[in-house]
Structure 1
């Protein structure tokens, strides 16, 4: 195998100069002296055996035909970082991939911040919207690493660990004309009108918390549910920070009060299934997000 006669540091200097237009700019980005960056470029040209830049103009420009070299350097740098991430992850027992299950009640804002948390750690994150009972099964099977869902009262799966990470405030939503006869909707009206439920499966404990009406329709696609809500097909109990509310839908005042229904959000995971340090950092991050947002 032929040995390489140039270094990754030289390639980084090359790409940085091209992308930022000058030795001065590249030096600032790389946190090096201008002379050091210039020396890296000079040595790379010596090692390759041909010039890369036209130095007769200021700032210096790539010579014709050198674009392919720069593109190849970009690919090599990217692959080198990927290799370093894998190697570091294995050395530190840090996973290179993580799968999070979540309820459709978890807001996009929360999920985007969790995605950013993993992105900064160079860990691939899979985000899977899944109902609570299915999530518990997937946790046991090792197909997801952790999930975020509404608490089921005091009931938790005996083989899973859990922690309360935040609070979800729920409100009654309906089309503007759905409860137009009432400024504050009585409880008996809620129980006698159609309630749209964003879940397919509900255990008895969750039913006692979320189901109010005697007549319910299950629609676990929130986008479809909020479209039907907007058309006046029923009312729904949804998170205050819901992402999908339509223009004709309003938050409804009821005799139950203006503060809404308060429910805990819990994280669940299988014991010893994920790196303890990563889990501790992630849970602290999620708790901080809920504290800031609420």
Structure 2
């Protein structure tokens, strides 16, 4: 590529003089003194080897060569302006992308409402469903900004900050007739049958709350879980926002648990040292979760 001999300032001065008609108005337009603008144009003419203006006319009139070059100068400056705008907005665009991790239990109505709200603010929300252990590694490494998960009965440690979002209501679901002549269904019956769990990696603290049976099948893809539950291959302890009672042949069961232990807190997780923008976003997440729950 041939080395560019002309500066952006020279081309800008040339175009401004063309459009203003004289050096004084061009200098005022560019915020420079008249002498500087005159020198920029003169040096450009010297580098080119030909005159761009007929200096015997008032206002200054372009030579034939100057007229041809002005059209290219204007196109060049438009491209330069586009470059400047893009360069200025890149940091803002980077800050306006948020990666949020969540698991199968997170209410989808909340995620949809959050995505819509952030879209209106010009924030791109990347939604990534994954197990909590994987999300914690992404948060710790800076590859994700936030996580939304069920609270664990343990301290989160210094690795993460957290804030309560609201409660997640849970219930027991099974195929109609799966537990015959049992109302409410006793815990011993739940423990004696296969439990379907939508987690591939269930933390110990969460397992103590969610796992009742020793016989479990892990199915962490919702359509497959639905098919297995409808086929009577086990029972499941699921969030009520799944609306599993609307799945084919599936019913919500009354159990000896009653409402005790069927409501679990949800929290937002993030790495310490978040900036003010992320903290404001967390407050917005709290509000949206409560509105949608």
Q: Which TM class, normalised by the smaller chain length? A: 0.5 to 0.7
Partner of 2:247: 246
In 1, the alpha carbon distance for the partners of 2:189 and 2:88 equals: 57
Deviation at 1:229, TM superposition (A): 0.6
Deviation at 1:259, TM superposition (A): 6.5
Partner of 1:102: 102
Deviation at 1:213, TM superposition (A): 0.6
The residue matched to 2:241 in structure 1 has which SS? coil
| Per-residue deviation, residues 173-208 of structure 1 (Å, max 9, x unmatched) | 111121232121001101111100111112221111
Unaligned ranges ≥5, structure 2: 1-10, 17-81
Counterparts of 1:135-174 in structure 2 under 5 Å? 135-174=135-174
The residue matched to 2:148 in structure 1 has which SS? strand
- Work out whether residues 185 and 253 of structure 1, in 8 Å CA contact, stay in contact via their aligned partners in 2: yes
Greater helix percent: which structure?
Answer: 2
Pick which of 129-138 and 222-231 moved more: 222-231
In 2, the alpha carbon distance for the partners of 1:262 and 1:208 equals: 14
Partner of 1:89: 92
In 1, the alpha carbon distance for the partners of 2:88 and 2:114 equals: 19
- Work out whether residues 168 and 264 of structure 2, in 8 Å CA contact, stay in contact via their aligned partners in 1: yes
Q: Structure 2-normalised TM-score?
A: 0.66
Quick one: structure 1 residues 258 and 206, their matched pair in 2 at CA, closer, same or farther if it must change by over 3 Å? closer
| Per-residue deviation, residues 17-36 of structure 1 (Å, max 9, x unmatched) | xxxxxxxxxxxxxxxxxxxx
Unaligned ranges ≥5, structure 1: 5-78
| Per-residue deviation, residues 81-100 of structure 1 (Å, max 9, x unmatched) | x959936827xxx7131110
Counterparts of 1:71-220 in structure 2 under 5 Å? 83=86, 86=89, 89=92, 95-220=95-220
Partner of 2:264: 263
Quick one: structure 1 residues 154 and 85, their matched pair in 2 at CA, closer, same or farther if it must change by over 3 Å? farther
Counterparts of 1:283-294 in structure 2 under 5 Å? 283-294=282-293
| Per-residue deviation, residues 31-83 of structure 1 (Å, max 9, x unmatched) | xxxxxxxxxxxxxxxxxxxxxxxxxxxxxxxxxxxxxxxxxxxxxxxx99x95
Deviation at 1:293, TM superposition (A): 3.2
Q: Could you say what the CA RMSD is over the residues aligned between the two structures, in angstroms?
A: 2.8
- Work out whether residues 209 and 261 of structure 2, in 8 Å CA contact, stay in contact via their aligned partners in 1: no
How many pairs were matched up? 216
Q: Structure 1-normalised TM-score?
A: 0.66
In 1, the alpha carbon distance for the partners of 2:243 and 2:123 equals: 26
Partner of 1:223: 223
Tell me which structure has the larger Cα radius of gyration: 2
- Work out whether residues 165 and 290 of structure 2, in 8 Å CA contact, stay in contact via their aligned partners in 1: no
- Work out whether residues 86 and 96 of structure 1, in 8 Å CA contact, stay in contact via their aligned partners in 2: no
In 1, the alpha carbon distance for the partners of 2:282 and 2:134 equals: 21
The residue matched to 1:162 in structure 2 has which SS? strand
